[in-house]
Amino acid sequence: MAEIIRSIRGMNDILPDVTPYWQAVETALKQVLTSYGYQEIRFPIVEKTELFCRSIGEVTDIVEKEMYTFSDRNGDNLTLRPEGTAGCARAAMQNGLLNQTQRLWYMGPMFRHERPQKGRYRQFHQIGVEAFGFSGPDIDAEMILMTARIWKKLGLNGLELQINSLGSTEARLAYREVLVTYFEAHKDELDEDSQRRLHSNPLRILDSKNPAMQALNEAAPKLIDHLDDESRQQFDAMCQTLDAAGLDYIVNPRLVRGLDYYGKTVFEWVTNHLGSQGTVCAGGRYDALIEQLGGKSATAIGFAIGLERLIALLETMDALPAVEPMDVYLVAVGEQATQQSLLLAERLREQLPDLKLIAHCGGGSFKNQFKRADRSGARWTLILGDDEVSQQMVSVKTMATGEQESVAWGELAHYLENNK
């Protein structure tokens, strides 16, 4: 026998026993986004590699070591998108959407060559949200309130909101020098990753997940103490709105985000229920990106939710959304009855468009078909044998009680409607 071909490590199949949860979560998210006036945008999974290098930044983890990059048959250098902001900004810019304000969302797979572990995969899914042309801080506050509403809609408690401001580009550059001086004075305490980042991306050292780095990072000078006036005012105004709305948050001066395009407001929603991959939602302002990509300067803010982590958290918290069961499993034995069962099923579908009905198909004894009916979780089993066909009747078994009744074909839709 030929060897079975398996999937790529870190790229998961999402099987039918869990897709109903994904669908329910996606529907809830879309409802909230739509209710705030966000519109869906779809853009390609593959883009020119240059797009990601120029936006995310050459010395970030993503561009340095996580991208799936290849040259296609024309020799063009292409990359599977590691995140959505760059593609969304490119699409908005290219299609002239940035002449006015835009509230956009998208959903789909992202690809990063990371070490696979719980909550960290090589193909994972995000729902991403971007608002263009709003300079804040009102939209910053609204966006964070919207994420809080998403958790509420999903019945999810226990996520902690962390916020910070990365300031203007100038303030960040000045702070960078302060930080490098500090870390240079403690060079022997830096781990290997941090040594490497000391001159390429020192802010990212603050984001280290290595416990050995914690004390050093906590004592480091704080960016929030080096903010420019405008960033400070915007941050304070946003905090005031969050306070007035009664939303709890923690100002985390070490929250820096891993992508270069962020400035001013950044935020994350984190949980300690998922081990070390505890960030479920992350985002921030990136006013410099559009210009960096060659467009006319436009302010922007966005966030992304990692769907694998969100669903894992819902599962841990026993808060997975209820999944609608099947209504009817239709059992038929005999040639005549089988054909009639399909016609009856079509008639019911015509009369009750929302009805969820499985017609058995594939024959077999009543006993075997009943087993399937049981397993389907349907509320009713409808039974059709040649006797029922000759009388134009069907036996209706209510699975919860085991009660069985005979109902005329013509009355069936009515019966199901009234006994729901």
What letter would DSSP give residue 322? P
**Smallest separation, CB 208 to ligand ATP (Å):** 10
Q: Which of 59, 138, 85 is nearest to 290 (CA)?
A: 85
- Given a contact cutoff of 8 angstroms between Cβ atoms, the answer to whether 382 and 394 are in contact is yes
What torsion, rounded to 10 degrees, do the Cα atoms 299, 302, 146, 318 define?
A: -170
Please check whether residue 255 is in contact with residue 164, taking contact to mean a CB–CB distance below 8 angstroms.
yes
Omega prior to 137 cis, within 30 of 0: yes
Q: Are 127 and 305 in contact (CB under 8 A)?
A: yes
Cα 58 to Cα 30, 71, 190, 205, 262: the distances in Å are 33, 19, 22, 16, 14
Choices 13-21, 121-129, 243-251, 399-407; region in contact with ligand ATP by CB under 6 A = 121-129
Instruction: List Cβ neighbours of 147 (8 Å cut-off, separation of 6 or more).
Output: 161, 269, 281, 303, 305
Site stretch for ligand ATP (CB under 6 A), options 47-55, 114-122, 245-253, 350-358: 114-122
DSSP letter string, 68-104:
EEEE-TT--EEEE-S-SHHHHHHHHHHTTGGGS-EEE
Which window, 115-123, 167-175, 198-206, 216-224, contacts ligand ATP (CB under 6 A)?
115-123
Min. distance of Cβ 124 from ligand ATP in angstroms?
Answer: 3
If the CB atoms of residues 287 and 308 are measured against ligand ATP, the closer one turns out to be: 308
* Chosen residue from 53, 55, 57, 83 binding ligand ATP by CB under 6 A: 83
Residues 346-385 within binding reach of ligand ATP (CB under 6 A): none
Q: Does 126 contact ligand ATP by CB under 6 A?
A: yes
Q: What is the nearest approach in angstroms of ligand ATP to the Cβ of residue 236? A: 25
For residue 124, state whether it binds ligand ATP (rule: CB under 6 A).
yes
Least Å distance, CB 365 to ligand ATP, is 46
Shortest spacing between CB 122 and ligand ATP, in angstroms: 7
Give the one residue of 38, 43, 121, 409 binding ligand ATP; rule: CB under 6 A.
121
CB 261 within 8 A of CB 289: yes
Q: Which is nearer to ligand ATP, 125 or 379 (CB)?
A: 125
Contact residue for ligand ATP among 24, 92, 304, 357 (CB under 6 A): 304
Residue from 54, 90, 103, 112 touching ligand ATP (CB under 6 A): that is 112
CB of 405 to ligand ATP, least distance (A): 50
What amino acid occupies position 333?
Answer: V
With H, G, I as helix, E, B as strand and everything else as coil, classify residue 309. Answer: helix
* Position among 120, 196, 273, 372 found at the interface with ligand ATP (CB under 6 A): 120
| DSSP class per residue in 323-387 | -PPP-EEEEE-SHHHHHHHHHHHHHHHHH-TT--EEE--S---HHHHHHHHHHHT-SEEEEE-HH
Enumerate residues 237-296 that contact ligand ATP by CB under 6 A: 258, 277, 279-280, 282
Distance CA 140, CA 265 (A): 7
For 55, the token pair is 């936006």
Residues 14-53 that bind ligand ATP (CB under 6 A): none
What is the spatial distance between Cα 388 and Cα 407, in angstroms, rounded to a whole number?
10
- Determine which residue in the list 84, 136, 306, 321 makes contact with ligand ATP, applying CB under 6 A: 306
- Compute the least distance from the CB of residue 200 to ligand ATP, in Å: 17
Nearer to ligand ATP, 139 or 282 (CB): 282
- Could you give the angle at the alpha carbon of 117 between the alpha carbons of 116 and 118, nearest 5°? 135
Please say which residue, 64 or 114, places its beta carbon nearer to ligand ATP: 114
Length of the chain: 420
Binding to ligand ATP by residue 81, rule CB under 6 A? no
Any idea which residue has 């000391």 for tokens?
Answer: 198
Residue 130 near ligand ATP by CB under 6 A = no
Which residue in 59, 78, 109, 114 binds ligand ATP (CB under 6 A)? 114
Minimum distance of ligand ATP from residue 298's CB (angstroms): 21
Report d(CA 171, CA 151) in Å as an integer: 34
Q: How many residues bind ligand ATP (CB under 6 A)?
A: 17
Our CB check for ligand ATP shows the closer of 55 and 126 to be 126
For residue 254, the minimal CB distance to ligand ATP (Å) is 12
Q: Give me the residues that bind ligand ATP (CB under 6 A), please.
A: 83, 112, 114, 119-121, 124, 126, 258, 277, 279-280, 282, 304, 306, 308-309
